[in-house]
Amino acid sequence: MNIEKEIKLLIEKDEYEKLDAFFDWDAQIQQTNHYYHCTGKAHYSSVRVRQIGDRFFLQVKMPVSEDGTLFIKKEYEKELENVPPALSAAQLKELTGADLGDAVLMGKLFTLRKTAHIGSCEVCLDKSEYLGITDHELELEYTGEYPQEIIDKIRALGIDTERRPSGKYARFIDRYIKSGAAER
């Protein structure tokens, strides 16, 4: 289990382009998140299999605290051989120790991610496509002190850093429900 500290900002396409031009990116990867619905009382927890190339990682994120744009979560991970259509309550409990119930695959979200490392902070610029829409997001994942210097640079570009976003899982679920996929 890891403790993840991250700042999330849902941004507009023009802001994405400003940030893309501003930072010197170390890497670019393509990843697909395959999202699951849990039958248990796992409010605000997310269950996914993240696919990067031909590797698959079962990941469960459980909230610890949230303050504006700062999210702190416990993150559990285990490598799998593929994307299963369902995960059993026993599999999830073995990984997390929590009763999340069984989980059923709902769909996927594709992300093109650019990353830059600045001190103890990883800057991630994401363009995601899912259920017929495209959105853009900036994530700052860090282990040390709050990355105020990076936040100040982003603000200097004219980007509001106080917007309260929702994460990829929450956005996927919202779109999933609105698209009527839940009734199919």
Q: pLDDT at position 136, please?
A: 97
Q: What is the pTM of this model?
A: 0.85
The CB density around residue 144, as the number of other CB atoms within 10 Å, is 9
Higher-pLDDT residue of 42, 114:
114
Higher-pLDDT residue of 18, 178:
18
The mean pLDDT of the chain is 91
Q: pLDDT at position 49, please?
A: 98
- Phi, psi angle pair for 124, to nearest 5°: -120, 125
β-pairing, 86-87 with 121-130? unpaired
What CATH number corresponds to the domain at position 81?
Answer: 2.40.320.10
Digit-coded pLDDT (tens) for 29-75: 999 999 999 887 655 688 999 999 999 999 998 877 767 666 778 88
Q: pLDDT at position 164, please?
A: 77
Enclosing domain of residue 75: 2-183
Counting the structural domains of the chain, the total is 1
Cα–Cα dist 110/123, whole Å:
19
Ranked by mean pLDDT, which of 75-84, 95-104, 160-169 comes out on top? Answer: 75-84
Digit-coded pLDDT (tens) for 151-168: 999 999 999 998 877 889
pLDDT band for position 183 (50/70/90)? low
Q: Stretch 122-133: mean pLDDT, rounded? A: 97
Higher-pLDDT residue of 135, 4:
135
Cα–Cα dist 100/88, whole Å:
9
- Buried-state track 21-36, b at ≥16 Cβ within 10 A, e below 16: eebeeeeeeebbbbbb
Higher-pLDDT residue of 5, 137:
137
